[in-house]
Structure 1
Amino acid sequence: MTTHPVVAEVTARIAARSAASRTAYLDRVTLAAQDGPTRRDLACSNLAHGFAGITGGDKDLLRANRRPNVAIVSAYNDMLSAHQPMHEYPDWIKGAARLAGGVAQFAGGVPAMCDGITQGRAGMELSLFSRDVIAMATAVALSHDMFDAGLLLGVCDKIVPGLLIGALSFGHLPAILVPAGPMHSGLPNKEKARVRQLYAEGKATREDLLDAEAASYHSPGTCTFYGTANSNQLVVEVMGLHLPGASFVPPGTRLRRALTEEAARRAVEISRGDEYTPIAHVVDEKAVVNGVVALLATGGSTNHTMHLVAIASAAGIELTWDDFDDLSSVVPLLTRVYPNGSADINHFQAAGGVQFLVDTLLDAGLLHEDVRTVAGPGLGRYRREPVLVEGALTWRDGPGRSLDTYVLRPATDPFARDGGLRTLSGNLGRAVIKVSAVAAEHRVVEAPARVFTSQEAFGVAFKAGELDRDVVVVVRQQGPRANGMPELHKLVPALGVLMDRGFKVALVTDGRMSGASGKIPAAIQVTPEAAVGGPLALVRDGDPVRLDAVTGTLEVLADLAVREPVDFPPGADAWVGTGRELFGALRHAVGPADRGASVFGPIAASHFAGRTTQEVSR
């Protein structure tokens, strides 16, 4: 098959741009790789500590240094529905690894935050930083030189990117991501959104709202809307880091257990010999482009405009927002899953899921087929879907056509000719906008600005009726340097009410909105952020602001040159409590959104290039 020329050109320029850093990364990986178990070089005391807690035959196998040892790194906790099913996984994995001729040890746990719980709370200001904490916790788990491969157990928002960044720092080790699957469908997402808007207008009680939310989020498994958690699963499967078809099999099923056990067997298999597949060789320039294409084709989470940049950087690859933009111009939108449709992720799976998506994108030349994956060479393997035949796991050809064209379409008959994410630029800086759920008539908004520095202040103005007009709501001091870049979903129901009242409404912010930004045109992740003196700090109430998602522009129609920043930078006393003071070092080290909002390496340091010592210290 012929690769689309834009996909080929973007991939080539990423490779050229990344040549030096990628070569240096792969050189480190080569130096770290060894023939045979890595623990054989440990001193006797070190090795004895490594297997002291094991009983039974696994201890003898580790002592003899003849069998591969698979690290289990898990985000399990029983508070979060997406991770609760993983409490059984270690025992399944250990048994399967043993049958495959290896050993598995629980190497370490990583924290797992839920943005759904922390929405609008102080804890949300730790959420983005938790990704880099997870990466460091993954590195700690793998740092003992006891392991020959890894299984990364995680699902949601910052967790999968954090696990990947950490694993890529041990790029010589094979690693497979192991998901838990979505909960069964509950209250339809559009009905949930309707009740939220009624509550925002004072037309529904708290009990009504809680009933709706509890009917939506009702059991173990991942939330069923297409936010960051499910975007994670789809993107990493298309990158070849899941077993084919693993993403959206529900928990509590025989197939889910069989896929988990197969991941353990496969980790043993690819840890050595002819099938040796280190994660550094899976996550290459082509795999990164495949991940971006999958995100765009499905209108996935805007968080991945940061996460994929940070993941790529961990593999020595420099991915930019320009790459997203150019790919978006040729990648068609193939799905309608809430918030850009009424279906949920289970409907997407039933319509053909990842397997049909890969099938149609490969046929259109929009994905690279010639990649390495944890399942073997070639992305064509991901056209096949897992099934149980007489209790045994096998794969068969996927459907080859969409089984529900209201949810999933072929590349030859898309919902839209370009992708669901775009970038904006202008005298306010650069931003990301998710347009897949925004109606065409709402994609260009020009209106007076109303400026806020918190969601709470916005809520007070909304309830007072001060926003019942055409308005561009500017919420600044929400970037990574200001307060950790929280998601701002408390804004969405009220903004939806204003739009339904017939007003022209848009949001401009240096904060995040994730995959659930919905029908409101929202220029998010504005960079440079206000806290480092970005133009957003110069906007005043009443300034005409123009957001144009058609031409890709974001501008304030005012002379900013004569102004001084407002609220720059935020005071240190504004970021204490709920553990926030413990993350102060990360807040001061974090890089800009368009470079991954990461605290690692030269990308973060470059955020402050050219700034005075006084500015940086503040």
Structure 2
Amino acid sequence: MNPTVDRVTQRIIDRSRATRADYLARMQALKAQSPHRSTLSCGNLAHGFAACSQADKDTLKFMNKANVAIVTAYNDMLSAHQPYEGFPDVIREAAHGMGSVAQVAGGTPAMCDGVTQGQPGMELSLFSRDTIAMSTAVALSHNMFDATLLLGICDKIVPGLLIGALSFGHLPTILVPAGPMPSGLPNKEKQRIRQLYAEGKIGRDELLEAESKSYHSPGTCTFYGTANSNQLLVEVMGLHLPGAAFVHPNTPLRDALTRAATEQVIKLSKPHGGELGLGDMVDEKSIVNALVALLVTGGSTNHTIHWIAIARAAGILIDWNDYAELSSVVPSMTRIYPNGTEDVNAFHEAGGTPFLIRELLAAGYLHNDVQTVVGFGLERYAQMPTLDGDALTWEPAVAQSGAADVLSSASEPFAPNGGLKVLDGNLGRGVIKVSAVAPEYHTIDAPAVVFDDQNELKAAFEAGELNRDCIVVVRFQGPKANGMPELHKLTPYLGVLQDRGYRVGLVTDGRMSGASGKVPAAIHVYPEALDGGPLARVQDGDRVLLDAVNGTLSVHVGEAEFAARTPAKPDLSAYHHGFGRELFGWMRQSASNPEQGASAFWNHEA
């Protein structure tokens, strides 16, 4: 193993010893009671299978056959989740073929950040993760099940499903992806058109036409944002079938993988002699593997929040220092938009996750000695699925990348590090992803332009007030203030300013997610402004240093003068009502800081 990866892993193991032991003890107690149908009264059991066929009822009366819980985030508004409509029928048929039963145990909400960007609904986005976790727990609470299949792909959905399922970590669990849509308008062209629209050089009709050519069919959006980062990380954790992440929906191979996932989770169940559940597989080493995969591929900065929450759900404590230390040694091996011009389809065709895993295992960056849903050893994931007639088989990953400009080898990476840095200073603590930022912009020292609302930036841009070197501070965007929305809407404006020759940066207690691109952005800064964090005392014209090279985020104001300033306290009530936001007040009030997962579940130091 790489010595730094090994050291970080051991540090996490030591830090988590008490919380992990407590979690495993709770899961062992649940496991000792299964299969749970044996504990149900006759009335309970009759309710549980009342709608089943007689054959399924006969099966469920006995404890020696598996009942698979399907937890689905299906809706037909999300392109990524629309293909899930037909998955339960495929799963039920495959379960019957194994002499078992599958039931849709419940559904979870699934919102699209692409639809809600810049809209009030975006302020529910982060907390939808914890809502999904609770929905998953409700679905599994009926104690009818021996195994779980999780159907979900996008941003908060996979983390929410995992957090919820880890409360039932004694059950074997497989995540079932649906795959990306075919490639549409090239990403570089999409970015160009967005910036033209931001400059007022084209109209809404032209922009809508371009966006419709980018997002054009069922399947996940093809850029490497949070949704596709989810899929890659879950596969590297061994919670998918090997090579399953990026196979297109509505294809014979995709259906074969869904059937195979059903058969495999049944084989892992207790009635079939299985002994390991999700909580056994999500351990410290698999979490580190996920972080390495995130950093190697320049994945979504959302996962500096979400994977902390997932880890905590399994009793594992990680922090941003773990990310940063790993990032300093793992190589950058992909160039997928926004870190390059090509998309996840090009990555998959070049060799994809199986090639990546093989390279990282050989170079000592991933732990091989982990439990996966297909057995012990991550090396099993250095295989790509294929159909031989109607039979699903796996072949070794390609010997060489099919597109060296998209997917590199570990020995000849695009960069020697992962491009994620932690920033500390008198403005607080945050993170920055520089994998898509040109080196000359890794340090920006410029006057601050301060906004308390993201919509104010658009007006200032259009008025020409930002045509200068500046660091844009967008504050009161943290989880307690307004739910910590993504600020993707700001990207085209900041990109235009940089293209005009100005040195610009962004500092915010909000999020940027997979939209983090060519403009340096210090994000997730805490303490957030609403908590009286330093950002609340920044004023227009203050010189701010954003230094990703040395990990510094500071304001050039004397300590005494800065401390004596009265923090800004804007009226945020307009963000707390309407569009359902009033229902999430308790989550805003209870949210932990981003380095603790920005969750209502863990709102204190461990």
TM-score bin, normalised by smaller chain: over 0.9
The residue identity in structure 2 corresponding to 1:405 is A
Provide the residue aligned with 2:416 in structure 1.
417
Distance 1:530 1:606 in 2: 20
Distance 1:420 1:142 in 2: 39
1:173 equivalent in alignment to 2:171: yes
Contact 1:245–1:384 (Cα < 8 Å) also in 2: yes
Provide the residue aligned with 1:612 in structure 2.
none
Which 5+ residue runs of structure 2 have no aligned equivalent? Answer: none
Provide the residue aligned with 2:403 in structure 1.
404
- SS of residue matched to 1:33: helix
Alignment equivalent of 1:137, drawn from 122, 135, 138: 135
Distance 1:36 1:195 in 2: 56
Provide the residue aligned with 2:503 in structure 1.
504
In the TM superposition, residue 418 of structure 1 has moved relative to its aligned partner by 0.3
Alignment equivalent of 1:230, drawn from 228, 231, 236: 228
In the TM superposition, residue 573 of structure 1 has moved relative to its aligned partner by 4.7
In the TM superposition, residue 104 of structure 1 has moved relative to its aligned partner by 0.4
Contact 1:477–1:570 (Cα < 8 Å) also in 2: no
Deviation string, structure 1 residues 363-405 (Cα, Å, up to 9, x no partner): 0000000000011110000001111112110111110321110
Using the size of structure 2 for normalisation, the TM-score is 0.98
Provide the residue aligned with 2:65 in structure 1.
67
In the TM superposition, residue 552 of structure 1 has moved relative to its aligned partner by 1.0
Deviation string, structure 1 residues 84-108 (Cα, Å, up to 9, x no partner): 0000000000010111221100000
Distance 1:318 1:221 in 2: 33
Provide the residue aligned with 2:582 in structure 1.
581
Deviation string, structure 1 residues 197-219 (Cα, Å, up to 9, x no partner): 00000001100000000000000
In the TM superposition, residue 559 of structure 1 has moved relative to its aligned partner by 2.4
Distance 1:481 1:250 in 2: 38
Distance 2:8 2:268 in 1: 30
Distance 2:261 2:107 in 1: 18
Contact 1:235–1:291 (Cα < 8 Å) also in 2: yes
Point out 4+ residue stretches in structure 1 off by more than 4 angstroms.
none
Provide the residue aligned with 2:104 in structure 1.
106
Provide the residue aligned with 1:268 in structure 2.
266
Contact 2:229–2:300 (Cα < 8 Å) also in 1: yes
Contact 2:436–2:517 (Cα < 8 Å) also in 1: yes
Contact 1:532–1:568 (Cα < 8 Å) also in 2: no
Provide the residue aligned with 2:76 in structure 1.
78
Distance 2:2 2:274 in 1: 30
Distance 2:383 2:605 in 1: 43
Deviation string, structure 1 residues 472-514 (Cα, Å, up to 9, x no partner): 0000000001000000011100101100010000000000000
- SS of residue matched to 1:86: helix
Distance 1:148 1:124 in 2: 36
In the TM superposition, residue 565 of structure 1 has moved relative to its aligned partner by 4.3
Deviation string, structure 1 residues 497-542 (Cα, Å, up to 9, x no partner): 1000100000000000001211000000001111101111111000
Contact 1:496–1:520 (Cα < 8 Å) also in 2: yes
* Closer/same/farther in 2, CA of residues 510 and 42 from structure 1, 3 Å limit: same
1:594 equivalent in alignment to 2:595: yes
In the TM superposition, residue 41 of structure 1 has moved relative to its aligned partner by 1.0
In the TM superposition, residue 581 of structure 1 has moved relative to its aligned partner by 0.2
Contact 2:179–2:246 (Cα < 8 Å) also in 1: yes
- SS of residue matched to 2:323: helix
1:395 equivalent in alignment to 2:386: no
1:94 equivalent in alignment to 2:92: yes
Distance 1:410 1:49 in 2: 55
Distance 2:299 2:592 in 1: 23
Distance 1:299 1:246 in 2: 20
- SS of residue matched to 2:133: helix
Provide the residue aligned with 2:466 in structure 1.
467
Contact 1:125–1:485 (Cα < 8 Å) also in 2: yes
Distance 1:99 1:546 in 2: 62
Provide the residue aligned with 1:610 in structure 2.
none
Contact 1:538–1:560 (Cα < 8 Å) also in 2: no
Contact 1:37–1:67 (Cα < 8 Å) also in 2: no
Distance 1:319 1:36 in 2: 31
- SS of residue matched to 1:354: helix
Contact 1:448–1:470 (Cα < 8 Å) also in 2: yes
In the TM superposition, residue 63 of structure 1 has moved relative to its aligned partner by 1.6
Contact 2:511–2:523 (Cα < 8 Å) also in 1: yes
Contact 2:305–2:597 (Cα < 8 Å) also in 1: yes
The residue identity in structure 1 corresponding to 2:578 is G
- SS of residue matched to 1:71: strand
* Closer/same/farther in 2, CA of residues 565 and 144 from structure 1, 3 Å limit: farther
Contact 1:325–1:422 (Cα < 8 Å) also in 2: yes
Deviation string, structure 1 residues 556-576 (Cα, Å, up to 9, x no partner): 111254333433375445411
Report percent identity of matched pairs: 61
Matches within 5 A, 1:278-289: 278-289=277-288
Contact 1:496–1:519 (Cα < 8 Å) also in 2: yes
The residue identity in structure 1 corresponding to 2:397 is G
In the TM superposition, residue 36 of structure 1 has moved relative to its aligned partner by 5.6
More displaced stretch, 553-562 vs 532-541: 553-562
Provide the residue aligned with 2:126 in structure 1.
128
Contact 1:189–1:338 (Cα < 8 Å) also in 2: yes
Distance 2:255 2:337 in 1: 28
Matches within 5 A, 1:370-381: 370-381=369-380
Alignment equivalent of 1:190, drawn from 184, 188, 191: 188
Provide the residue aligned with 2:240 in structure 1.
242
Which 5+ residue runs of structure 1 have no aligned equivalent? Answer: 608-618
- SS of residue matched to 2:604: helix
Contact 2:332–2:417 (Cα < 8 Å) also in 1: yes
Distance 2:63 2:295 in 1: 45
Contact 1:37–1:69 (Cα < 8 Å) also in 2: no
In the TM superposition, residue 275 of structure 1 has moved relative to its aligned partner by 3.6
More displaced stretch, 222-231 vs 416-425: 416-425
* Closer/same/farther in 2, CA of residues 69 and 558 from structure 1, 3 Å limit: same
In the TM superposition, residue 422 of structure 1 has moved relative to its aligned partner by 1.6
1:162 equivalent in alignment to 2:172: no
Provide the residue aligned with 1:564 in structure 2.
565
Contact 2:452–2:570 (Cα < 8 Å) also in 1: no
Provide the residue aligned with 1:327 in structure 2.
326
Distance 1:312 1:506 in 2: 31
- SS of residue matched to 2:93: helix
Provide the residue aligned with 1:305 in structure 2.
304
The residue identity in structure 2 corresponding to 1:576 is H
Deviation string, structure 1 residues 231-251 (Cα, Å, up to 9, x no partner): 000001001111100100000
Contact 1:530–1:536 (Cα < 8 Å) also in 2: yes
Deviation string, structure 1 residues 335-362 (Cα, Å, up to 9, x no partner): 0000010010000000000000000000
The residue identity in structure 2 corresponding to 1:260 is T
Distance 2:400 2:98 in 1: 35
* Closer/same/farther in 2, CA of residues 308 and 570 from structure 1, 3 Å limit: farther
Distance 2:339 2:386 in 1: 30
1:555 equivalent in alignment to 2:546: no
Distance 1:146 1:34 in 2: 15
Distance 1:342 1:579 in 2: 37
More displaced stretch, 33-42 vs 404-413: 33-42
Distance 2:298 2:63 in 1: 47
In the TM superposition, residue 4 of structure 1 has moved relative to its aligned partner by 0.6
Contact 1:589–1:605 (Cα < 8 Å) also in 2: no
The residue identity in structure 1 corresponding to 2:149 is L
- SS of residue matched to 2:423: strand
Distance 1:159 1:543 in 2: 39
* Closer/same/farther in 2, CA of residues 36 and 525 from structure 1, 3 Å limit: closer
The residue identity in structure 2 corresponding to 1:130 is S
Deviation string, structure 1 residues 224-274 (Cα, Å, up to 9, x no partner): 000000000000100111110010000011000000111110110001254
1:515 equivalent in alignment to 2:514: yes
- SS of residue matched to 1:73: strand
1:604 equivalent in alignment to 2:603: yes
In the TM superposition, residue 417 of structure 1 has moved relative to its aligned partner by 0.2
Distance 1:502 1:328 in 2: 30
- SS of residue matched to 1:507: strand
Distance 1:578 1:81 in 2: 22
